[in-house]
Amino acid sequence: MNNLANASINTFGPSPKAGFESLITLTYGQLQGLIVQAVQEAIQLLQDEVSQLREEIDQDRREIASLHAKLASLESLQEQDINRICLDIAYDRRRLTALEHPAKEPGKTELSRAEKIERYLAARPDHKATFETLRGHLGVDKDRLNEAIKTLMASSPGRYGIVRAQGDKRKRTLVMFPK
């Protein structure tokens, strides 16, 4: 049985003499040099990879900065467009308002009526006249008289005033103030 065990042990591995022939003998310094060289090669690969990643990061940062600059310029252009559109809308509204509600300039007839009223008040000693008297003097209705008085008051602001008659609060009087 002992032979059987020896035979099975010998089949599993090389003979003991073969193991000594492949034995390498290294000194501590040689082993340390081999380890340092292997570690340096491994570190060099990692350093190269880190260097490459840093270059990629720098490239990404430059691209991001470029994109930020482009975004800022686009936002600036967008703000300029919005401001221009808002100004256009404001100008259009002014034009529409002017078309819908035109500023009415007094016509020749209104100006001549205003001059007649001015001459009439200047000729009166108290420089006053009721609206009824002025209507009769000009031969116009209430609306045309009011237009003429507005034209007169607009042409000489502060020179004329309207007061209520003392006896009847419904009646109005146009007064010419002294210069």
CA-to-CA distance for 72 and 39, rounded, in angstroms? 49
108-176 maps to which CATH number?
1.10.10.10
Break the chain into its structural domains and give their ranges.
24-103, 108-176
Cα dihedral 142, 148, 152, 157 sign? positive
176 forms beta bridges with 160
Cβ proximity of 158 and 167 under 8 Å: no
* Burial of residue 133, with CB atoms counted within 10 A of its CB: 0-12 exposed, 13-18 middle, 19 or more buried: middle
Per residue of the chain (179 residues), give pLDDT as tens: 555 545 544 555 555 555 456 678 888 888 899 899 999 998 999 999 999 999 999 999 999 999 999 999 999 999 999 999 999 999 999 999 988 888 778 888 888 999 999 999 899 899 889 999 999 989 999 999 999 999 989 888 888 999 887 788 888 989 988 87
| Residue 103 CA neighbour count, 13 Å, CB half | 5
